[in-house]
Amino acid sequence: MIRNALTVAVVGATGVVGRTMITVLGERRFPVGELRLLASGRSAGRTVSVDGRTIEIGEAVPDAFEGVDIALFSAGADVSRELAPAAAARGATVIDNSSAWRMDPSIPLVISQVNPHDLEGHQGIIANPNCSTMQLAPVLMALRDSVGLERVVVDTYQSVSGTGADAIAELESQIRAHVSGEPVRAEVYPHPIAFNALPEIDVFLPNGYTKEEWKVVMEDRKILGLPDLRISCTAVRIPVFVSHSEAVHVETRDPITPERARELFASVKGVVVQDDPGTHDYPLATAAAGRDEIFVGRVRRDESIPDDRGLALWVVSDNLRKGAATNAVEIAEILLERNWVEHASARGARPYRALEPVGVSGGSGA
Ligand SMILES: NC(=O)c1ccc[n+]([C@@H]2O[C@H](COP(=O)([O-])OP(=O)(O)OC[C@H]3O[C@@H](n4cnc5c(N)ncnc54)[C@H](OP(=O)(O)O)[C@@H]3O)[C@@H](O)[C@H]2O)c1
């Protein structure tokens, strides 16, 4: 039986996602007894203030997970590959934000309002989807369940916070350099991100897609339970600080009107329809930043698809909150509600076994 207050570790606690996780745990009053903040050896010994308490950052090493109930990982795929099995072996349930485990068939890849049932029987590691997938799949779910999905084409407009703290600093410094007429230096991205649009997120794959684009393809198929879904993506980094936007074109199996689609989207938990072109009201990155919802607007017939089976829409969400931290905490809440926090062996689920990470090769991004 799980105690009321849990020992929760945040791995990557000094990063933008880790810091947002700490905020979201507090906002949602997740029952944290001990909060263990972990990062690299570079940060170990530093202190941070959380709700008036001073907490020392520890180094993320295997023994740091002794006694941890839930470990929220957001320190990159390499750290997750190394330490998530070590944490699970010590009895922690890992909710991992990296791409390390998402495509392993034995690891649940979960969006709280789409497939929470996939958490049952987890073996100690649960994967949190990529931020671009996170805001898309709940919207697609509404169409899957009503009129069926034939084909999806999505183009993303992704903020720099999706890359992490260094990229936020790089955009700021490039804007300052531009304004003061100084040379613009690019270090995080291969080209300046200020006043630009870069069609390259994560590494290029042999099929010509980037790994980010392929994550959207593969993760949506897995989460929606549609392994053959025809879906394509172009992922673009733009000079926005927070929130990803997506232009989505959907071919449905059966006809659907934009009015009905709006009703369906509005009925999904955590999805808000914001769609009044007459008053210039549609989802915006700046307005979505700091919010937990997924905003949908510009819903219209895709006139290139016959028989009223096409929809075009615009989907925006805060990549640090629903796209990462909030969904991770929502998963933890579901585990707690359903008494699925405990280690697999204690729940009678299959015992933890060492798992090889599976996925497209290369890269270590979100
Ligand atoms: N940003 C997003 O929107 C987003 C969305 C979904 C998933 N993610 C994923 O979340 C993770 C973190 O992203 P972020 O944006 O927060 O990056 P970030 O701001 O660059 O922070 C990286 C964090 O990882 C820690 N870290 C780096 N190397 C480590 C090591 N060897 N051992 C332990 N900790 C280490 C860093 O600690 P130090 O400060 O000590 O270096 C820092 O806390 C990545 O896996 C990313 O792919 C990000």
Q: Please tell me the distance between residue 107's alpha carbon and the centre of ligand 1 in angstroms.
A: 21
Is residue 359 predicted with pLDDT exceeding 70? no
Helical spans, DSSP H, in the chain: 16-27, 77-89, 131-144, 165-179, 211-224, 258-266, 285-288, 326-337, 344-347
Ligand 1 pocket residue status of 365, Cβ below 6 Å? yes
366 CA: nearest ligand 1 atom: 47
Given this model, what pLDDT does residue 345 score? 55
Q: Specify whether the CB–CB gap between 50 and 32 falls below 8 A.
A: no
Q: Specify whether the CB–CB gap between 154 and 216 falls below 8 A.
A: yes
- Pocket of ligand 1, candidates 97, 102, 163, 364: which has the most ligand atoms within 8 Å of its Cβ, to mutate? 97
Nearest residue (CA) to ligand 1, atom 21: 15
Please state whether beta strands 244-252 and 149-158 pair in parallel, antiparallel, or not at all (unpaired).
antiparallel
Residue 149: beta bridge partners?
252
Residue type, 172: E
The crossing angle, in degrees rounded to 10, of helices 211-224 and 131-144 is: 40
CB-count exposure of residue 249 (10 Å: 0-12, 13-18, 19+): middle
- Model pLDDT for residues 75-84, shown as the tens digit of each residue: 999 999 999 9
Ligand 1 pocket residue status of 97, Cβ below 6 Å? yes
Nearest residue (CA) to ligand 1, atom 45: 76
Is residue 350 predicted with pLDDT exceeding 90? no
Q: Which residues are catalytic?
A: 131, 244
Is residue 360 predicted with pLDDT exceeding 60? no
Cα angle: 10, vertex 347, 341; to 5 degrees: 20
How many residues comprise the chain? 366
39 CA: nearest ligand 1 atom: 34
pTM: 0.94
> How far apart are alpha carbons 324 and 118 in whole angstroms?
18
- Model pLDDT for residues 47-77, shown as the tens digit of each residue: 999 999 999 999 999 999 999 999 999 999 9
CB-count exposure of residue 301 (10 Å: 0-12, 13-18, 19+): middle
25-40 mean pLDDT: 97
- Model pLDDT for residues 125-156, shown as the tens digit of each residue: 999 999 999 999 999 999 999 999 999 999 99
Q: Please tell me the distance between residue 56's alpha carbon and the centre of ligand 1 in angstroms.
A: 18
- Model pLDDT for residues 155-195, shown as the tens digit of each residue: 999 999 999 999 999 999 999 999 999 999 999 999 999 99
Ligand 1 pocket residue status of 159, Cβ below 6 Å? no
CB-count exposure of residue 181 (10 Å: 0-12, 13-18, 19+): exposed
